[in-house]
Amino acid sequence: MQKVGKPKDWILFKHDPAHEKSINIDFSGTINLTNGFKGTVLASKGVSKNGNTKFLRLFKQTGVLFLGDEGKFTGDMTDVEIGGKKALIGWSNDKSETPHISGYANEPQVKEEAKDDKAPF
């Protein structure tokens, strides 16, 4: 089957304990940011290949996706490693061989102010 259209920029899979790259989030908490706000930090348990060293892998929250009425996910992601702020849009692909959510990352658009053509009086 030939794929049609632009390749997706991002993809999320459900946690699968049988898959070696699947990550289970074991801990979540907050961290004080330099701008005075609190950020979210997540962690998963890990063990070295030889089993001698235990550690926690740390992850930071970089955005939030909201599910809209049309069944699509939208939100923003902000991180230095992705080039600043990105506007995300995605869809659930439940009927896929491996169910997932995937979509595109775009440069955020500046919202234009609504112009009122009516006279102020």
Residue with tokens 């930090």: 41
Q: pLDDT value at position 120?
A: 58
Q: What is the pLDDT of residue 82?
A: 79
In the chain, domain spans: 10-106
Which single residue is written with the structure tokens 């801990």?
27
- Chain Cα centroid distance, residue 57: 17
Q: From first to last of the 121 residues of the chain, give the pLDDT tens digit.
A: 556 667 889 899 888 888 888 889 999 999 998 989 899 999 999 999 999 999 999 999 888 999 999 889 999 998 888 788 999 999 999 888 888 999 999 887 776 666 666 655 5
Whole-angstrom distance, CA of residue 113 vs CA of residue 58: 40
d(CA 80, CA 53): 30
